Amino acid sequence: MSECLVNGKPENSVPADDRGLLYGDHLFETIAFVDGRAPLWPLHMARLTQDAGRLLLPAPDPELLAAECTRVAGSQPRCVVRLTLTRGSSGRAYQPPATPQPRRIIQRRAWPQRLAAQRQRGLKLHTSSVRLASSAQLAGIKHGNRLEQVLAAEYARRAGVDEAIMLDQRGRPLEAIAGNLVLIIDGQALTPQKRHAGVDGVGLQALGEWLRQAPQEATLEVDDLRQADEVMVINSVAGIRPVRMLDDRALAIGPVCRRWQRLWDELFECDD
């Protein structure tokens, strides 16, 4: 059982001319595996296929990817598989080759520590000074250009917080560093509109499917975060984590969060 496959072969390295390395020219999915199965697999594949079209990459082969990801996951009770699909090697500087040969890099990672405690007791967040750039071409895509998240995560580490609220260029809350936001305001579930920045998250999509009603996209302001009854961070691996502290303000962990967490656990643990 290999921890890393590159184009189907056990390898722990990638050619130095891979465009993923040179330019962040890739897509990736971070996929939760439980007992060898990925409960959110169809959503990951749907996003990857859509994003490949937007980045002018050839459509991926979901069956091949399923075989390789399952092989890397092995029989671990829980693990995370990172699937990276780069535009491969060659091309002329920024310009891709006429017929790119994408490279598949599939890596196993340990299940993150502390998630259970974070789901139970909640997250401490600050508002990041790093703002998300606006780009109609790249908004929503889970691509490999992640310096904003890297910088925000480094500042969060230095500040001793678990996560951060990232604002867009106009100062509106858009998402967390590694997760989408859901606010409960007057009984309504709202999530920031992501037409110009942010990632179209698989965890949030899954929740919407399970509830048969996705949280409603809205243009939200910083004040909405302060006035919300509940604030949650949703991520396909970490699940649903409530925010218990945002900057200098304590938030309550409310009943909607607890109900959704039970739903998430049921669907992840015993849906076969």
Task: Quote the tokens at residue 63.
Answer: 């069956």
**1 vs 13: CA distance, rounded Å:** 17
Q: Which of 7, 71, 76, 148 binds a copy of itself (CB under 8 A)?
A: 148
Between β-strands 173-176 and 188-192, what pairing exists: parallel, antiparallel or unpaired? unpaired
Please pick, from the candidates 60, 122, 144, 198, the single residue that binds a copy of itself as defined by CB under 8 A.
144
How many other CB atoms are found less than 10 A from the CB of residue 40? 20
Cα distance between residue 49 and residue 46, in whole Å: 5
Q: Do 225 and 173 meet the contact criterion of CB atoms below 8 Å apart?
A: yes
Partners of 242 in beta bridges:
232
Residue type, 111: W
Min dist. Cβ of residue 173 to a copy of itself (A): 17
Positions in 88-127 near a copy of itself (CB under 8 A): 92-96, 98, 105, 107, 112
Binding of residue 9 to a copy of itself (CB under 8 A):
no
Cβ-based nearer residue to a copy of itself, 75 or 113: 113
Q: How far apart, in whole angstroms, are the C-alpha atoms of residue 25 and residue 146? A: 11
Residues 157-196 that bind a copy of itself (CB under 8 A): 157, 169, 177-178
DSSP symbol at 77: S
| Amino acid in the structure at residue 147 | L
Sole window of 70-78, 85-93, 213-221, 255-263 interacting with a copy of itself (rule: CB under 8 A) = 85-93
Q: To the nearest whole angstrom, how small is the minimum distance from the Cβ of residue 240 to a copy of itself?
A: 18
Q: Which of 111, 115, 151, 256 binds a copy of itself (CB under 8 A)?
A: 151
Which parts of this chain interact with a copy of itself (CB under 8 A)?
Answer: 4, 6, 11-26, 28, 30, 55-56, 82, 84, 86-87, 92-96, 98, 105, 107, 112, 130-131, 133-138, 143-154, 156-157, 169, 177-178, 197
